[in-house]
Chain A
Amino acid sequence: AQSVTQLGSHVSVSEGALVLLRCNYSSSVPPYLFWYVQYPNQGLQLLLKYTTGATLVKGINGFEAEFKKSETSFHLTKPSAHMSDAAEYFCAVSEFNNDMRFGAGTRLTVKP
């Protein structure tokens, strides 16, 4: 069964600094990979997804992620952090038409 591991339950960066949130996956077939953001007491908002094709995926709010099959990774990055980026981020993996499995989440804190 598919699974994801998010390295680092908490990441803290300064405003304007690079954001890097790590995600590694395990899947027996080519996976679909997702990054979601969650604000307190709210549902999940899709940032970006990888299905097939270009391995560098651009999402909303300036985020992007690169699918690296050789490293089984799908790390999320943003060149310059903004205060509004502070939230919980979840990496998820899905195999076609199967359910979605989530990582443990990474809480991003942005310091002024």
Chain B
Amino acid sequence: EDKVVQSPLSLVVHEGDTVTLNCSYEVTNFRSLLWYKQEKKAPTFLFMLTSSGIEKKSGRLSSILDKKELFSILNITATQTGDSAVYLCAVATGGSEKLVFGKGTKLTVNP
């Protein structure tokens, strides 16, 4: 059975801190790993990673994939209160558009 595990499940930090969110997976026929940010409504897409060792960046957010060790990290530097959200990790497997989601990491950034 395909499995995606995120850690920690929740995290409370102060504005300006740097955080690292983790996502590990055990799936058959890995195709890609995706990160989504979910505030109070629908998940919104952040990154898609398919190749090991290539960092994706968008402003203060960055993510990297390690296909040998089967995990990805999402880094957020100089956190702001607007970064408070649930961050979801999902994996796509070959031959299907289905995504397998982890349970999410709830990040709270306090002023």
**A and B bound?**
no
* Interfacial residues, chain B to chain A (CB-CB below 8 A): none
* Interfacial residues, chain A to chain B (CB-CB below 8 A): none
